[in-house]
Chains A and B, each alone.
Chain A
Amino acid sequence: MSTDDLPGGTEPPVPPAPSSARGLHIGIAGVLAIAAIGFFTGLRGSSQEVGAFLASRPTPTATIKARSYSDTRRGAWGPNSALYPALFGQLSAAPALSVPVPPQTAEDRLASLELRARRRAYDGAPPTIPHQIEQRDAPGCLGCHEQGATVAGLVAPKMSHPRLDNCAQCHVVAADPRPFAATPLPLTSNHFAGLPAPSGGARAWNNAPPVLPHSTHMRTDCASCHGPLGAPGLRTTHPERQNCLQCHALSATKDQRSPSGKPGPVGWEPVP
């Protein structure tokens, strides 16, 4: 099913079939069967930085702004885009939960939040995809993103929501699809200013567990961002504790659950 035998075809060869992907160190058998449809992913550079323990509770003062239109197109690619199409030999499963996680610094937090904002129109928007995808079949995404994986030091984050198969319903590639030549910049401008991401959850006192600063709608799997494969600045120091909501409180307002339980517009309850 290669496309490079077309006259004048400019596409790179299709990634190797599962039979050629020997020696994989992967925990879950069968993941590659889907991945081989096309294109594996991964996007975040892993941090080797180790900070002091106290820095694991940073309180950044800066607010992360949503990106402007021109910024959205610049730097939309993740580092894995250059690695396409084949590094299956280096694919490995998510690290065990017992692996210690280096504490984060305020700089880590800011950098991670900035990276996160770069791929979202506003806080809560579905992120764009920082690499090319197989345009035909969405289910290939789950090969890497259903459980999360690391490839050659890069991270394919686990999806934060329950399994939904039509990935390309919400997530689109952040650049011209192959094989088209890039459309010229600038495009028409857009003055939308998206809701910035919160920089951290509020604490009742110094050592209290922070409450959730964001909605849990479509973000039900905390480990997606805060687990061992999360961005360095967002990782929890205690990944072995699985019941996050035991200590970290939800927000009914942010989750848009009206307190009365009555039907009706949410969030219009005026401030006292």
Chain B
Amino acid sequence: MERRDFLKASAMAAATAAATRAFDKESHAADAPGKDDVRWDKAPCRFCGTGCHVQVGVKGGRVVAIAGDQKAEVNKGLLCVKGYHVGLALYGGDRLTRPLLKKDGVFKPISWDEAIDIIARRALANPAGFAVYGSGQWTIPEGYAANKLVKAGLTSNQIDPNARLCMASAVTGFISTYGVDEPAGCYDDLDRCDVVILWGNNPAEMHPVLFSRIIDRRSRGEEVTLIDINTRRTRSTAFCQHALTFKPNTDLAIALGIMHLLVEKGTYDKGFVEKFCNFRQRTEPPTLDGKAMTFEEFRKALGDYTPEKVEEISGVPAEKIRLLGDLFGRRDLKITSLWCMGMNQHTRGTAINDLVHGVHLLSGHFGKPGDAPTSLTGQPSACGTVREVGTLAHALPGGLVVTKDEHRKEAEEIWNLPAGRINPKPGYHTVEMWRRFCKPADQGGDIDTIWVQVTNPGQSLPNTNEIFYPSRKIPGKFLIVSDVYPTETVRNADLVLPSAMWVEKNGMVGNSERRTQQWFKMVEPPGEARDDCWQLIAVARRLFELGHPGMKDKDGNFLFSMRKDGREVPVWDFKHYYDINVDQQLFEEYRKFTRFKHKDLAPYDEYTRARGLRWPVVQQKDGSWRETRFRFARFDDPYAVKEEIQFYHSVTKDDRALIWFHPQEPAPESPDKDYPFWLCTGRVVEHWHTGTMTMRIPQLRTAMPQAYVEMHRDDARRLGISNGEVVIVESRRGRVEMPAWIDGRGQPPPGSLFVPFFDETVLINRVTLDAHDPLSKQPDYKKCAVRVLRKEPPGRTP
């Protein structure tokens, strides 16, 4: 449905109401929307992966107000401070409004035609060395267009997203356990559970709307037990009955300790395990399939993880491990586990994800409302655009992969490509892509161009001193950045494209609970800023014109050909981009992929009416579309038909999930004599990721204007550091300065530090480590070894 038709339909629907209003205009004047009144429309919030819906108030072509959407099931009318101020993100004074090309170190404005031509010629000159670095903030149609451009067009598979840094271990955890990605449960579990376990998670700041959904139940008289398994005390801890602080990297031992107790005490759910689970152990080198083990072998392997042994490893008192073991051993409680970056940004990310799923499966706390292991996402469309559209180096849309012949064949059919077009070799994962960008061509640096969209790797990649900045000094390396503000990445770019953002364009995203959401463009972007999706299609078209054979399907038509009333619409010409709903065109094509892994999506029009729908969305006999809240459960999931639970994408092809054993192991870098502190990085409630939007919102920036290092008072006293004093945090890789905060918002235990990464003047990722999980390739931002130095007192020369 086009926007115009939609307005027309609304007009008819409202005609009766309008007539009633006109009848007594005088006395109802206050309630009748006037010509100059604020117009409200729905959109998902631009920021995190919770997926709250906001109502956007538009007046005079500008966003003037925001309200929590009372019809949204996710947030039920409530938002967080970022969401309430999301409209201000559009109006920072330094929006990028013209394409800019760096010449002799200075940015010069150029035309869009020139910019698109430069990009196309870089791709034409060396298609294999041209990489796209995308984002979990790409809309679904944007990610789909980029994926098709790279995998069907350039056929290099050189595309990977920033979600590699954020969600990859959750993905490998789901795939290795259930054979298919994304959570079985949903946010409804939060309304039904008796116990919530936070695994290295601080939702009071990072997913505040979901956290309120839990704690507000207490205000209504319900009982919910919250248990915080953490490495530092946070605002979430304040709301928890139990806080278990563990030594960094020992979370595996805690999960193994729970499993040990369940098995030894016989309190695991025998019926569930016998019917629905197999056991698995890892191989060397590790794979997602591992190798089978018997229950007896599993029990034996767990023997090392007695509560006392776990206390020794993790520092968590044995009695607290027993508390967790006892809770999971009870059938009368409903338990939901929540996690996000703490478990994912981990060199053993896949393993800890597997183990937490395993604890739930072993104890049968699965598949009933309130009983769920639920991974949360950090970006608005890490699920929708990255995991579902498959904008990863090895993936195709809909959960397909380039390495499987039959998957490539399916994709070639949907994309109408000649057989054999899609390259079976995966591209480089994020860290590898940037490492190769940072090396000269003759030293294995075979990536020479990266086009970055909707993300800020100059601030968010780990160990930037090694995998970002060096590329800026190597001749022939060309960095293209599409963004809305001058970020750290933009400043280091060779070519800058000004983008439209959020309600300046149409969009669709997918949140943490499999909910696909849609919005319409509401205001015009500033200056010459244009949609990211248009930029991708325009480059594809330019390549088509320049004769790149990959930009044609097998009938010789342009890859992104769109037709209206039988005639091709030249969407690559921005004047005509909104002549047709490009989002709808791309989405309807993408939908064909979603049936392979039972991730069925509804037609576009359904999403224009709903506040998102959770997949699989399956059409009913009466023609209506029904969403699925609880996956793999027969009472709700239309694809689970055999037993009450059916893992219909089982790795072992027997409808069973896998319970894994992974041993505890040390971190790649631990504190020592020279670098005696653990460093953990993360977020704060006011700012979202690298702060490029929220640091331009006065209310948010004023509340939290700069990054800081949280440290324990005993460490501060020992080093003679006073509260608020500017200190140096240094690792083997880099150093940054920032004020110390003692007894601040979070309180790390002695020997641990915390630094948020939102502040572009405190680039903490110059310090972090790029060591990553062997399967997910996701780096560990939560643990590396650093030291803290006082600056020389003023007036004293060294």
Contact = CB atoms under 8 A, between A and B. Distances in A.
Interface of A: 3, 6-11, 69, 72-73, 76, 121-126, 128, 135-139, 162-166, 168-181, 183, 187-195, 201-202, 204, 211, 213, 215, 217-218, 249, 251-254, 256-257, 259-260, 262-272
A180 B724 contact: yes
Contacts of A172: 81, 685-686, 699-700, 702-704
Given A3-B742, A193-B64, A263 B698 contact: no
Contacts of B55: 256, 266-267
Given A121-B88, A138-B238, A266-B40, A259 B212 contact: no
B65 A188 contact: no
Contacts of B7: 268, 270
Contacts of A256: 40, 55, 67, 69-70
Interface stretch (B10-18, B458-466, B635-643): B10-18
Interface string B30-42: 1111110111111
Given A122-B64, A174-B699, A189 B93 contact: yes
Nearest to A178: B724
B577 interface: no
Nearest to A257: B70
Interface string B128-145: 000000000000000000
A202 B39 contact: no
B219 interface: yes
Contact of A73 (B31, B32, B702): B702
Contact of B66 (A122, A136, A175): A122
Contact of A271 (B34, B63, B70, B722): B34
Nearest to B212: A166
A72 to B, nearest CB: 5
B21 A251 contact: no
B742 A123 contact: no
B508 interface: no
Given A179-B741, A266-B40, A271 B32 contact: yes
Contacts of A183: 705-706
A69 B91 CA distance: 11
B529 to A, nearest CB: 14
Interface stretch (B106-114, B273-281, B713-721, B767-775): B713-721
Contact of A265 (B18, B42, B235, B706): B42
A5 to B, nearest CB: 9
Contact of B80 (A128, A170, A211, A215): A170
B81 A126 contact: yes
B65 A124 contact: yes
Nearest to A1: B743
7 contacts: A135-B744, A166-B235, A180-B705, A180-B706, A190-B93, A192-B88, A267-B33
Contacts of A7: 716-717, 720-722
B41 A204 contact: no
B70 A165 contact: no
A256 B33 CA distance: 11
Contacts of B159: none
A113 to B, nearest CB: 16
Contact of B703 (A6, A11, A173, A270): A173
Interface of B: 7, 10-11, 13-14, 17-19, 21-22, 26-27, 29-35, 37-42, 55, 57, 59, 62-71, 77-81, 84-85, 87-88, 90-94, 204, 208-209, 211-212, 215-216, 218-219, 233, 235, 238-239, 608-611, 685-686, 695-706, 708, 713, 716-717, 720-725, 739, 741-747
Contacts of A194: 64-65
A174 B703 contact: yes
A265 B7 CA distance: 10
Contacts of B11: 269-270
B706 A10 contact: no
B78 A164 contact: yes
B41 A268 contact: yes
Contacts of A252: 31
A253 B31 contact: yes
B717 A6 contact: yes
A269 B77 contact: no
B554 to A, nearest CB: 40
A187 B698 contact: yes
Given A180-B741, A190-B92, A266-B55, 11 more contacts: A6-B716, A7-B720, A8-B720, A121-B84, A125-B65, A125-B84, A136-B745, A163-B219, A171-B81, A187-B698, A191-B92
Contact of B65 (A69, A176, A195, A270): A195
A165 B208 CA distance: 11
Nearest to A264: B609
Contacts of A178: 724
A124 B69 CA distance: 13
A194 B14 CA distance: 28
B13 A269 contact: yes
A159 B40 CA distance: 26
Contacts of A176: 702, 705-706
A52 B62 CA distance: 41
Contacts of A9: 722-723, 742
Nearest to A211: B30
Nearest to A272: B18
B68 A267 contact: no
B30 A251 contact: yes
Nearest to B697: A190
Given A264-B609, A272-B22, A121 B85 contact: yes
A136 B542 CA distance: 54
A168 B685 contact: yes
Contacts of B724: 10, 178-181
Given A169-B208, A211-B31, A263-B71, A193 B92 contact: no
Given A10-B722, A135-B745, A173-B703, A72 B698 contact: yes
Given A8-B725, A256-B70, A266-B42, A169 B209 contact: yes
A175 to B, nearest CB: 6
Contact of B41 (A3, A174, A251, A265): A265
B39 A121 contact: no
Contacts of B10: 264-265, 268-270
A269 B14 contact: yes
A177 to B, nearest CB: 7
Contacts of A175: 702-703
